[in-house]
Amino acid sequence: MTDKKLNLGDLKLNSSAEALLDQLPDHAGQLVHSLATQYSIPIWQYTCAILLAVHMEGRLSEFRLDPAWKDGLRTKELICKHCGTKFSPRHIGQPFCSNDCGLAAAGQLHKEDKPNGPTRDPIPSKHSDVVVDGDSGWSIPDEVA
């Protein structure tokens, strides 16, 4: 870093912080946004405060990089695992372009997992005459209920 600090306005620094936070998983970026709003400070100041806190705790110089760190970053375009079209994901690691493709893929996986042979009826339980009473968690025999 240089001795001379640039005098950038809050707008440029906020847009830079936004660009960094957009690369984080949804919950992390949203948390930083909500906390900066709650404390009524610009997003870039809160982002710098996080880095400074990590430095003061001694964790910045002892930082260990997770080998799979890139898996948590956003990707501009992904390919749908069901239909093969390119799409812009809403969430990190989103495998399907739409709910329809996700449901269709789940249906295919479900059909593939089913055995081809005959199915059996479930084995009756010796406690099949017991009724569970609402949300209490207590079971009540039929003759009492």
The number of folded domains in the chain is 2
Report which of residues 62 and 33 the model is more confident about. Answer: 33
Confidence grade of residue 10 (pLDDT, cut at 50, 70, 90): confident
- The reply to whether 2 falls in a domain is no
- The reply to whether 128 falls in a domain is no
pLDDT 10s digits, 15-26: 999 988 888 876
What domain range includes position 15? 10-56
- The reply to whether 109 falls in a domain is yes
Same domain for 44 and 14?
A: yes
pLDDT 10s digits, 98-143: 888 988 888 865 555 555 555 666 666 666 565 555 555 565 665 6
Same domain for 48 and 86?
A: no
What average pLDDT does the chain have?
A: 77
Same domain for 87 and 49?
A: no
User: How many whole angstroms separate alpha carbon 25 and alpha carbon 36?
Assistant: 17
Alpha carbon 59 to chain centroid, angstroms: 25
- The reply to whether 33 falls in a domain is yes
